[in-house]
Chains A and B, each alone.
Chain A
Amino acid sequence: MFKNLAKLACCLGLVNGTFLMCSQLKNDHSHNKMQHYNFLSENELHNLLNKHQNLSILNRNQTEHILSLMREANTDIVTFRKNADRLIRILMEQALAQLEKQNCVKQSPLGFYDANEVKFSDQEICIVSILRSGNAFLNEALRVISGASIGQILIQRNEETSMPKYFFEKLPENINEQQIILVDPMLGTGGSASMALKILKNYGVKEENIIFLTLVSCEQGLNKVFKEHPNIRIITAQVDPILIKESNYLAPGIGDFGDRYFGTVKKHTRSVQV
């Protein structure tokens, strides 16, 4: 109310002082003074990796520039997509590096050599995307493993309760025999990922055959998923320090990855993405 009185006073052209007050009040309105979030220290990351043996965090040198651009609220969609794709490619290469290999002897133009190749053909690998955001991974995934199968599970998070809701799935018939790379850009509470993993296990997929890729995650999500599915592997580009209680959003986070990647950002909501 005070604000309104001040505004009224300005409009009525009262003393300059009013104007000054007005500006001050206006500034105070951005009183949801945005916080400065500090990333986890080397020590904290070390502890996290010790706690979860099946967790891999990408080397910061490779990811910090890219993540910095993606996180920035002002980044345009072209830059966002380009950098997301680069990061997704790096994650995919890391997943492939962890697939089982087998030894054989092969021949180069000059002689024989010991070959160590991935045990599985393209078709024996299945990229399972948690729709909608997970689909962002498919471009790069198919560039790297052109013959892979693609599975899709539609799970949406209820924005009020943060509970995951299942809608739909389409998975290869023989998925229980495949190596799975499950993909979803953000890992918040871990609710959606956990639901997807249960679905995969219902189809007979073994935990050891699943690698979960996510760009940004947090301790809570990692803890939950590893607790319920201890034998899967998780590879993440960065672990954010905070999961905001009310909204269950990561902070500093990226905003809504799906909206930013697919260009469906709602214009008139506050910059705090919902």
Chain B
Amino acid sequence: MFRNLIKIGGCLGLLSSSNVLCNQIKGKNQDDQLPHYHFLNDHDLQKLQKKHSNLSIIDKSYTEHILSVIRDVQTDIVDFRKNADRLIRILIEQAISQIDKKKHIKQSPLGYYDAHELKFQDEEICFVSILRSGNAFLIEALKVMTGASIGQILIQRNEETSQPAYFFQKLPQNIKDQQVILVDPMLATGGSASMALQILKNHGVKEENITFLTLVSCEQGLGKLFSEYPKIKIITAQVDPILLKNINYLAPGIGDFGDRYFGTVKTNKAQQ
């Protein structure tokens, strides 16, 4: 109410100091003086990796520039997509480097050499996307593994309760025989990912054959997934320090990845 009085004062052309007061109050209104979040230090990260031996965190020299750009609230959609794609590509290459290989002998133009190649054909690999955000991974995934199958599971998080709700799935018939790479950009409570993993297991997929890729995660989500599915592998680009209790958002986070990547950010609401 005070603010409104000031505004009226301003409009009525009262003392210029009203204008000054106005700004001060405006300044204060961004009062939820945004906190400064500090990333986990090397020691914390080391402990985390020790705790979860199936966890891989991509080396920060590859990711810190890219993540910095996509976290930045001012980054436009073109740069956001470009950098997200770069990071997704890095994650996918890491996932593939962890898939079983077998050895044989092949011939180069000059002679024979020991060849180590993936045990599996493109078609034996299935990218399973947790819609909607997970679909951002599919563009790069198909650039790297042009013949891979794509599975889709629609799970949406109820924004009030943070509980995941299942809507839909379309998975290859023989998915239990495939190497599965499950993708979802953010890992917060782990609720959606856990639900998706349950669905995969119901289809007969073995935990050892699943790699979960996520750009930004947090300890709680990682803890939950590894306790329910100890044999899966998880690869993440960065582990955020905080999971905000009330809204269950990662902080500093990226905002809503799906909205930012697909260009559906709501403009008049306060930034999530």
Chain A residues near B (Cβ < 8 Å): 34-39, 59-62, 64-65, 68-69, 71-74, 82, 86, 89-90, 93-94, 96-98, 101, 105-118, 144, 146, 244, 249, 251-256, 271-273
Partner of B68, one of A37, A73, A116, A146: A116
B106 and A110 within 8 A (CB): no
Q: In chain B, what residue has the closest Cβ to A87?
A: B93
Bound CA–CA A252/B115 (angstroms): 11
Contact of A109 among B38, B116, B255 (CB under 8 A): B255
Q: Which 3 pairs between the two chains have the least Cβ-Cβ distance?
A: A109-B255, A255-B109, A61-B97
B1 at interface by CB-CB < 8 Å: no
The chain A residue sitting closest to B38, CB to CB, is: A114
What residues on A are CB-neighbors of B253 within 8 Å?
Answer: 108-110
Q: Across the interface, which residues of B come within 8 angstroms of A106, CB to CB?
A: 68, 71-72
Known pairs A110-B253, A117-B65 / 14 extra A-B pairs, C-beta < 8 Å: A35-B110, A37-B113, A38-B114, A62-B96, A68-B115, A72-B106, A86-B144, A97-B59, A109-B254, A110-B244, A113-B252, A116-B68, A251-B111, A253-B110
CA distance A71 to B116 in the complex (A): 11
Contact of B93 among A35, A62, A73, A74 (CB under 8 A): A62
Interface size on B, residues (CB 8 A): 54
Shortest Cβ distance from B141 into chain A, in angstroms? 13
Rounded to whole Å, the gap between the CB of A164 and the closest CB of chain B is 21
Query: B86–A39 contact, CB under 8 A?
Result: no
Q: Complex: how many Å from CA A89 to CA B64? A: 18
Contact residues in A for B272 (Cβ distance below 8 Å):
109-110
Contact present for B115 and A72 (CB under 8 Å): yes
CB of B224 closer than 8 Å to a CB of A:
no
Given contacts A108-B71, A109-B73, A112-B35, contact A68 B106 (CB under 8 A): yes
Q: With an 8 A cutoff between CB atoms, is B251 at the interface?
A: yes
In the assembly, what is the distance between CA of A143 and CA of B24, in Å? 45
Question: Is the CB–CB distance between A114 and B115 below 8 Å?
Answer: no
